[in-house]
Amino acid sequence: MAKADFNLSSVSSSFRAGRRSAAVTHAGIAIAVTLAFLAFHAVRAFPSLADSNGDNDSLLRLVQVRDLLAGQSWFDLTQYRMGLDGGFVMHWSRLIDLPIAGLVLLVGEQAALVIWPLLLLALSLFLMIRAADLIGGAPAVLPAVVTGALALHFVNVFLPGALDHHNAQLALALGAAYALMVGLRDGAASPGGAGGVAGVCAALMLAIGMEAAPYAAVACAVAAGCYLAGGDAPIRLARGFGLAFAGAAAASFVATVPSQDWLAVTCDALSLPQGALAVLGGGGLALATLVPVLRQTVWTRLGALAALGVIVALVAISAFPQCLADPYADLDPVLRQYWLSSVTEAQPLGALVRAGELGTIAGYYATPVIALTILALQAVRGRLTRETAVLFAFLAVAVAVSCWQVRGGVFSVTLAAIVLAAWIGRARTLALARPTVAAQLVMAASWIVSISLLWQLAGVVLEPGDATAATETETETEMAAAADATCYALADHAALAQLPAGTVLTISNLGSTVLHETAHRVLNGPYHRNNAGNRAALDILMVDPDAAATAARGLGIDYVALCPGNAETQALARWAPDGFLKALLDGATPDWLAVVEGTGTAPLRIFQVRR
């Protein structure tokens, strides 16, 4: 008997050692691929550091980090250089500012711009490889490396200079999903520990930004499902998740919300509603797993979950009803019409269909739909494992979010790559076992249809051409403007940076770049909390030049920056053909403005307000 026990222990130890060895190998692969990405950007002289390509959030994130390092309070998220006098409070979290600021102090700003997104890229790819290996075995590893790397490249949130929080939230979502998968694996060494890791990831996702709330919710649902299913390991996973989720949410609340605001309600950032519901839900789940009578049968577990759900819902509805409404309910109707409707990442699938953007639709929706179909077929055939069911839940939510707002595609494309890697792995195994032409074709097809970039290219090719109509409707000014730069290149703002500090009026898409590159303040930027500043800017740009003069002087505008080649400039000119911006675009400079010398034909044309 002792001999048998010894052998079983040896087998278990060998299995864990094999898993650790595979993890080291997978980490090495992820690092190698990340270094290849670094080399790719380096040989091109890091173009994303010189031209933001409209990534306003990354530019403003660095401005926020600079302000923090310059002495602005940790708890003060006001952006004083944007909006009306006094600025406005950003809805972002300091939890992302902290590691970036640390890197800036350690290696300098330019190196930090490269290191931070690539660290997150390496972590995300590692988690994708591990998840694919978990559900597909060794044959899925190579496909995971290829499809994973291409998916992470396609979603475009890991470029050098990408400081926006979406890349960190994606890495945390992958971490939560993988930890839950590990905790549900047969023979999991520490399901409670895996649940704890998932709970921390889910809480941090929520603390960093409310965009990740759906993915934190699905992680909570999976943990609750584990408790409902019963069994020692699933219940321990649920307990670990609940304790960690509640604890990490509470810690994030205390660490990022000033004590005088602990009772304040803000629906777009971590505050009392989110913190209270996370502690109540996570703590309630953990408590249910600790009470013996609530663990005994599926009916007692179901009753406990139902009671907890009712309590959480009653608290949310009675105490925080405003947070159950449209997240943009407070947005000015004019801004909703002329700004939000033009933000690509906030558009629903229906808007993309109506606009005929087949490239975007194919790139962001084809691989997730294929992956969902594969998982659905496995479920129908009774072949869906618990680990794969976790991916199914995360992917289904991500696809639903992407149908509401295209930004959800960042998560759905990435999660789909894991499922498709396992699918390709099975096709490879079959092709090796049965080297027939049919098997080879199936394997080749599985590779091809799993690449989002190829779907996007196919969609672009199939997009209907409308060159004749465009020629008939575009004015000469608009066609000339289309050939100009979009002014996202940082060098385009060099002349503006040389002028004495003042207040700049420009389109919202350039507000962050102006703050990043100059000492000026700007009236507007693409942020929903800057309601007053954005509305004031539109009221100047879209009224007649004489009325614009009165409004601009009343707000203390010192400079007007015009970028003819930017799509927002052209859109505003079309919407207000008799407005101030259209007059500037047509070359009709009013007498209350003077062209700054040397900028009359530059991509960014600068005018100084005459006093």
Q: Output the DSSP codes for 472-497.
A: HH--HHHHHHHTS--S-BGGGGHHHH
Positive or negative torsion for Cα 210, 216, 221, 224: negative
What are the phi and psi torsion angles at 264 (to 5°)?
A: -75, 150
Q: CA angle at residue 392 from 387 to 397, to 5 degrees? A: 135
The whole-angstrom separation of Cα 153 and Cα 452 is: 10
Supply the pLDDT for residue 482: 41
| Ramachandran sector of residue 79 (left: φ over 0; alpha: ψ -120 to 50; beta: rest) | beta
Query: What's the full length of the chain, in residues?
Result: 611
Amino acid at 5: D
What are the phi and psi torsion angles at 521 (to 5°)?
A: -115, 155
Task: Record the tokens describing residue 252, joined without a space.
Answer: 């994030």
Please write down the HEC assignment for all residues of 3-61.
HHHHHHHHHHHHHHHHHHHHHHHHHHHHHHHHHHHHHHHHHCCCHHHHECCCCHHHHHH
Task: Record the tokens describing residue 316, joined without a space.
Answer: 């949310």
Supply the pLDDT for residue 16: 56
What H or E segment, with its residue span, contains residue 251? helix 232-256
- Specify whether the CB–CB gap between 268 and 530 falls below 8 A: no
What H or E segment, with its residue span, contains residue 387? helix 386-404
The whole-angstrom separation of Cα 135 and Cα 181 is: 9
What H or E segment, with its residue span, contains residue 533? helix 531-541
Supply the pLDDT for residue 329: 67
| Mean pLDDT by groups of 10 residues along the chain of 611 residues | 44 54 92 96 94 92 97 96 94 95 96 97 97 95 95 94 95 97 84 93 95 95 94 93 96 95 92 95 95 91 94 93 78 75 75 86 94 95 92 96 90 96 93 87 92 90 60 42 73 95 95 96 92 92 92 94 92 92 92 90 92 77
Task: Record the tokens describing residue 441, joined without a space.
Answer: 């074709």
What is the reported pTM? Answer: 0.91
Neighbours of 105 (CB within 10 A): 11
Strand partners, 79: 88
The whole-angstrom separation of Cα 122 and Cα 34 is: 6
Query: Collapsing DSSP states into helix, strand and coil, what is residue 595?
Result: strand
Task: Look at residues 337, 338, 335, 360 and name the one whose alpha carbon lies nearest to residue 349.
Answer: 360
The whole-angstrom separation of Cα 223 and Cα 242 is: 8
> Which strands make up the sheet holding 503-505, listed edge to edge?
521-522, 503-505, 559-562, 605-609, 593-595
Amino acid at 67: D
The whole-angstrom separation of Cα 19 and Cα 11 is: 12
Supply the pLDDT for residue 585: 92
Supply the pLDDT for residue 274: 94
Task: Look at residues 465, 517, 507 and name the one whose alpha carbon lies nearest to residue 486.
Answer: 507
| Ramachandran sector of residue 505 (left: φ over 0; alpha: ψ -120 to 50; beta: rest) | beta
The whole-angstrom separation of Cα 430 and Cα 343 is: 45
Query: Which parts of 429-535 are beta strand (E)?
Result: 503-505, 521-522
